[in-house]
Amino acid sequence: MARISKIAVLTSGGDAPGMNAAIRAVTRTALYNKLEVIGIKEGYRGMIEKLFIPLWSIDVSDIIQRGGTILKTARCMEFKTPEGRQIAYNNMKEIGVNGIIVIGGDGTFTGARIFNEEFDIPMIGIPGTIDNDLYGTDYTIGYDTALNTVVEAVDKIRDTASAHNRMFFIEVMGAEAGFIALRSGIAAGAEAIIIPEINNEIDKLNQLLESGRRQRASNIVIVAEGDKEGGAYKLANKVKERYPGYDIRITVLGHLQRGGSPSAFDRVSASRLGYAAVEALLDDQKSLMVGIQNNEIALVPFRKAIKLHKSVNQNLLEIADVLSS
């Protein structure tokens, strides 16, 4: 493998608070090691359409506290084709890039893995997704900030719920995983938490409602958007039909969870991962994700990060069940 001399960095998929901190760490670590740095705008689309900008220390001097991503992000169907990836490779070779760092989730890493199977430019991934659903890392960039955003919103909703003796169904992100719902539900003191990984939570909710133990000043039910009941609206309507005496309201937090200034934890994690990604390239690594396991940096092959399933913490499920009783 040729010595790394010029790297590129991009963000792809859904944005997450802390991506800018990762861009900053990648840029400054690379410059410290005498490497040139190119920022690719709009993810894989930028590789194909030559949306390149040089990155220097001054360019990342005031971004660690900003949400979103200064490099922007976009979906790119063309990169999913061999022809599109060939164009991207040719463009990288043309400007002399011989190492690429991608920040994103499983879709981003899937594209990077395929690209590394076809071409000789190594790619290293940094996990950036609020869902925290990537195997091989305890935390992904943006997850902690999203949790704090949800808890803050739920605390405010509980105030108005208490004033009117209402039951609120609050939908949070998590199309296939309930990590945000589970932890935010515990932190916010939710009376019930509905996530895709658990099949009988709606039955438990019905039992509690029937027993009358939910006649409290306020009742908060946290629902992951991908739950088997079809989300907060469908679940709330089912409960309303069965228990018409309850004053039920629904709040979907949506993209509110993606925005905002990253938490200190996300800033530090992103900085560690950005540094580790450049070090991995310098150590001739390729086709892997840098993650954090037991507070230590871990190198995880893309194929494992993408294919293996990350399970929810069973102890947290037990705690949620006990504390909501």
C-alpha 9/C-alpha 112 separation (Å) is: 12
Dihedral sign computed on CA atoms, order 74, 68, 105, 185: negative
Q: Find residue 141's DSSP bridge partners.
A: 128
C-alpha 85/C-alpha 78 separation (Å) is: 8
List 131, 144, 227, 266, catalytic entry? 131
Active site residue 106: no
Which residues, at least 6 apart from 314, have a Cβ–Cβ distance to it below 8 Å? none
**Distance linking the first and last C-alpha atoms of the chain:** 58
C-alpha 303/C-alpha 313 separation (Å) is: 22
Around 282, how many Cα atoms within 13 Å sit in the side-chain half-sphere?
15
Active site residues: 131
